[in-house]
Amino acid sequence: MIDLLHTPEASRRLESIIRPGLLCAFDFDGTLAPIVPQPHLAVLPAELRALLVQVSAHAPVAIITGRSIDDIHHRLGFDPDFIVGNHGLEGVPGWENTAAQHAETCQRWKAELEAAFADMGADPGIVIEDKRFSLSVHYRQAANPGAAEQALDRLFTRLHPIPRIVWGKMVFNLMPDNAGHKGTALAQLMKVTGASNAIYVGDDITDEDVFRLRRPDVLSVRIEHSTESAAECYLDKPEDMAQLLGVLIERMRAAGAANWVQAPAPITAA
């Protein structure tokens, strides 16, 4: 029995989900990488990188993040099978045609926000992160974060079209209202890969779109317990990720699981 997830029910679910056909998907910030004061400082720790490479020998690995693909790729240090950026808007196979429309909308929002900040008297601690297909407005370093949060919340209602707001840790994520999200992205990855089941680990409000799927073939794991989360089970702290990855590797290796989406190496004549 695996006691990492605290309850016998959660442990049984984890044991039942780890079998050939598993898709392993993870959030990045706060899940694989520690939360840092400035987004550009985040990087995947070497220990987890090595473990994820081992996981990928037995199952497809997907990183589903709020960051853009261009931003996240160099922070990983390895090539997962799938990188999905912008909370599910970028990098999902089969959804490429809507990307240009989302990019146009985000550029319009950015121009409107920059004009509004100039009129209000810009606080250098409020930063717009342009992810092309979505925007993230960070206010962790604002002079008065509480006041900045309220002002930004009011400001977003004046944007055209009104965005879907996904709250994060001291950040507002602005997304087109008709766009997909992390939950629909995971479902699409399962469809295109033919995965029979999946595990997803996340830590934030943006991951609740996956947690709320409540599919019997998807095990959702949250970093740190929250009574308000829809996740099935949780890890006590981010440092427990290494132990969870170790369990995945051990059980999939014992089951003889192989990553079926990776093409086998060609056989060359001696």
User: What does the alpha-carbon distance between residue 232 and residue 220 come to, in Å, rounded to a whole number?
Assistant: 5
Tokens at 148, concatenated: 């900045």
Does the bond joining 161 to the residue before it have cis omega, within 30 degrees of 0? yes
Chain centroid to CA 164: how far? Answer: 17
Q: Are 75 and 37 in contact (CB under 8 A)?
A: no
* Marked catalytic residue, from 3, 27, 123, 240: 27
Token readout for 120 is: 């209000």
Sign of CA dihedral 113, 119, 120, 122: positive
Q: Please indicate whether residue 27 is annotated as part of the active site.
A: yes
Q: Tell me whether strands 218-223 and 233-235 are parallel, antiparallel or unpaired.
A: parallel
Neighbours of 237 (CB within 10 A): 9
Count of positions (residues) in the chain: 270
Report the distance separating Cα 117 and Cα 79, nearest Å: 38
Catalytic residues: 27
